[in-house]
Structure 1
Amino acid sequence: MIVYCAAAACAIGVVLVASRLVRRWKGVDDPDPDGPTTAHTGAMLSALFLLAFAIAVVVPWTTADAARSNTYAESQAISEAYWAAGRLPPPDARHVQAGLGSYVALVRGPEWRLMERGRLSPRGQEQLDGLRRDVIAVKADTDELKDARAAVLDHFTAISAARAQRAMDARTTPPQGLLAVTVLTGLAVVLLPFLSGARPRGASLVPLSLMAALLAAGTYLTVDISHVFSGALAVRPDAFTGLQAELQRIAGGG
């Protein structure tokens, strides 16, 4: 942040030095609100706001889409592990399948609420690690059981990889500097007529007020969608809600 402030201060210094130099050379005073300086500044501020606004919207939107796809990949890996666990000896199969059902309930409930604050429950990883150790400990006396155990472990690897990606998605937000630039350029665009010396009155305040309202709504949108698991673009636990019903169907022999 210090570097950004220093860069801004240097830019202001360049403007002040340039204004002094121009006074010594040939130049025309430009005090009018609709003069070339204000026109140039307004166009650049509008362009900067649109650029920052576009990035602040596109980045979270893309991240949310990727995070949503990852939740379905994780739920699919859990479903495949549940199916594969059925090939283990009956006591081990029931234990692993019950553990997977408990893991899904944890993710869909308490862990999802934690993800809104950017973190995952440590209990989820503990459950996965415990189930993985239990599968490794399964006695495999035949090639068929060895293959079944290996298949379950492969699916657990996929679940862990998807979980790690979900943890990263929960912590991902746009750079704070980007949101700050969006807010500041939006304010500058709204206040530019007043800063340039114009005094809007009567009907001219209507379009200015409308623009200010829309800019404020757009700026708030960039803040509201900045987190993947909360706000307007929040990823919901739909994949795990559907998975719970699927696991119940599989357990019932459907």
Structure 2
Amino acid sequence: MVAYALSILAAIGVVMVTALVFRLMVRRPGEDRDPGGPSAAHAGAMLSAMFLLVFAIAIIVPWTKTDTARQNTHAESQAAIDAYWAADGLPDDAARQVRIALREYVIFVVRDEWPLMAQGRMDPVGAARMDELRGRVSDLEVSGEDEEEAKVELLQRIGAISTARAQRAADAAATPPDGLLFLTILTGAIVIMFPFLAGARPRGLTILPIVAMAAMLGFGTYLTWDISRAFDGPLAVGPEAFHGALQEFARVGGGV
């Protein structure tokens, strides 16, 4: 934050020094008081460009993060489906217990954990469930090459679930870069106030375009805040992938 403040002060200092130098070098400097003059036109264009740049970043970053989070949820649910299939190679009782644990985990994610992710948090119970299942499968005694291969594959699938879960936790906690929302609000406010700062005094119907611009900028700024989290807001990632996994469990295991 200190570096940002110093950069702003440095830019202001460059403007002041430049203005002073030109005033000393030019004997009869002309004044530019016209709201539509070159100074106001140049500053207005640059401020508008700055706002558009910041606004674009504030929209694109959460949008991209949300798309990535959606793909990660599909990866986790697919890993759970693959683990459900892999359990078929275990002894009957062990396979049934593993499949029950996978089903309960997916139901837990959809029912209990998803609301927490809208707040940027995860329930540690989910990770504990995966650790318990991994330990149970690791300690499982199997006989024969086929069962051993099924056990190894199942452990790999459970590891894939845990990896995808960790990525989902990172996606839930992720927010846009610090200061981006503040900069969006600041540049938007300056763009709205600039005509008045430049000396314009619109009256009557001439103020309607500025009012419309302010309304659109306000809505756009609110939108950048509303989509800042991947699992909350209008672009929120839903648990559709996990609902699909539950349907696949029912199809593969007949409700087990």
Q: TM-score range by the shorter chain?
A: over 0.9
TM-score by length of 1: 0.96
How do residues 96-245 of structure 1 correspond to structure 2 at under 5 angstroms? Answer: 96-245=98-247
Is the 8 Å Cα contact of residues 83 and 154 (structure 2) preserved in structure 1? yes
CA distance in 1, matches of 2:39, 2:82: 65
CA distance in 2, matches of 1:113, 1:6: 41
Q: State the percentage of identical aligned residues.
A: 50
Unaligned runs of 5+ in 2: none
* Superposition deviation, residue 198 in structure 1: 1.0
TM-score by length of 2: 0.95
Quote the RMSD (CA, aligned, Å): 1.4
How do residues 16-35 of structure 1 correspond to structure 2 at under 5 angstroms? Answer: 16-26=16-26, 27-35=29-37
Q: Helix, strand or coil for the counterpart of 2:220?
A: helix
Residue 84 of structure 1 aligns with an amino acid whose one-letter code is A
Residue 10 of structure 2 aligns with an amino acid whose one-letter code is C
- After superposition, give the CA deviation of every residue in 1:65-98 in whole Å (9 maximum; x if it has no partner): 1110111111011011011112211221111111
* Superposition deviation, residue 249 in structure 1: 2.4
* Superposition deviation, residue 253 in structure 1: 7.1
Q: Which moved more, 1:62-71 or 1:175-184?
A: 175-184
CA distance in 2, matches of 1:86, 1:253: 14
CA distance in 2, matches of 1:62, 1:101: 30
Residue 250 of structure 1 aligns with an amino acid whose one-letter code is V
CA distance in 1, matches of 2:40, 2:255: 73
CA distance in 1, matches of 2:251, 2:147: 24
* Superposition deviation, residue 39 in structure 1: 0.3
* Superposition deviation, residue 21 in structure 1: 2.0
CA distance in 2, matches of 1:253, 1:12: 69
Q: Helix, strand or coil for the counterpart of 1:86?
A: helix
Paired residues, number: 254
- After superposition, give the CA deviation of every residue in 1:153-202 in whole Å (9 maximum; x if it has no partner): 11111111111111111111111222222111111111001111111101
CA distance in 2, matches of 1:191, 1:52: 18
- After superposition, give the CA deviation of every residue in 1:17-63 in whole Å (9 maximum; x if it has no partner): 22222221213211221111100000001111111111111111111
- After superposition, give the CA deviation of every residue in 1:204-244 in whole Å (9 maximum; x if it has no partner): 11111111111111111111111111011110111111212
| Runs of 4+ more than 4 Å apart | none
* Superposition deviation, residue 248 in structure 1: 2.2
CA distance in 1, matches of 2:137, 2:36: 75
Q: Which residue of 2 aligns with 1:78?
A: 80
Q: Which residue of 1 aligns with 2:13?
A: 13
Q: Helix, strand or coil for the counterpart of 1:60?
A: helix
Q: Helix, strand or coil for the counterpart of 2:89?
A: coil
